[in-house]
């Protein structure tokens, strides 16, 4: 990625709803050049899509938590099956496969602590492949919405 690509990515992260013409004007390039650059970034997988940032409390998910799972027997098959199964649970926002003492970390959003407790006891603890879990309730979240490419010291 050159500097122009990096600036396109930064501007789209700031406001993905701006038109190609507005983006080109901000960058000081022709709209056709801008469009080709955005298409190339999309083809290369740098730009993976556009989405709306929705308030979780507005979706009745005012309580969020990170749930660290240990699965047994520990194998790629069990991890993948568990990941697929829990991804279909309505409470699950995202899933991370991790290294260390835990195998999966779930980001969940629920109405209140009673629903979190029900999700843990009724939804997770009854699954035979889940050997254990730990839960951390999220009080606040800061999400960096504009990311830049980190320089590679070898380049």
Q: What is the CATH number of the domain that holds 38?
A: 1.10.10.10
- Within this chain, do residues 32 and 69 fall inside the same structural domain, yes or no? no
Q: pLDDT for 51-92, tens place per residue? A: 888 999 999 999 999 999 999 999 999 999 999 999 999 999
CATH number at residue 67: 3.30.70.920
Q: Do 134 and 68 form a contact (C-beta atoms < 8 A)?
A: yes
Instruction: Indicate whether 154 belongs to any domain.
Output: no
- Within this chain, do residues 128 and 65 fall inside the same structural domain, yes or no? yes
- Within this chain, do residues 36 and 76 fall inside the same structural domain, yes or no? no
Residues spanned by the domain of 101: 57-138
Please choose, from the candidates 110, 79, 74, 119, the residue with its C-alpha nearest in 3D space to the C-alpha of residue 95: 79
Instruction: Indicate whether 149 belongs to any domain.
Output: no
- Within this chain, do residues 62 and 22 fall inside the same structural domain, yes or no? no
DSSP 124: I
- Within this chain, do residues 17 and 86 fall inside the same structural domain, yes or no? no
Q: pLDDT for 99-144, tens place per residue? A: 999 999 999 999 999 999 999 999 999 999 999 999 999 999 998 8
**What is the Cα 63 distance to its own chain's centre?**
17
Please state the pTM of the whole predicted model: 0.82
Instruction: Indicate whether 144 belongs to any domain.
Output: no
* Alpha-carbon gap, residue 124 to 144, rounded angstroms: 30
> Into how many domains does the chain fold?
2
* Alpha-carbon gap, residue 89 to 92, rounded angstroms: 6
């Amino acid at each position: 990625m050159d500097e122009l690509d990096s600036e396109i990515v930064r501007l789209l992260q700031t406001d993905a709803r701006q038109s190609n013409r507005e983006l080109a004007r901000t960058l000081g390039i022709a709209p056709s050049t801008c469009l080709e650059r955005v298409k190339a970034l999309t083809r290369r997988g740098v730009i993976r899509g556009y989405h709306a940032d929705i308030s979780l409390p507005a979706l009745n998910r005012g309580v969020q938590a990170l749930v660290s799972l240990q699965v047994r027997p520990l194998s790629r098959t069990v991890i993948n099956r568990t990941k697929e199964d829990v991804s279909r649970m309505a409470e699950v926002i995202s899933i991370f496969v991790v290294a260390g003492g835990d195998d999966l970390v779930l980001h969940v959003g629920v109405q209140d602590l009673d629903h979190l407790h029900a999700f843990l006891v009724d939804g997770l603890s009854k699954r035979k492949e889940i050997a254990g879990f730990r839960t951390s309730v999220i009080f606040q979240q800061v999400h960096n919405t504009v990311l830049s490419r980190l320089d590679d010291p070898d380049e």
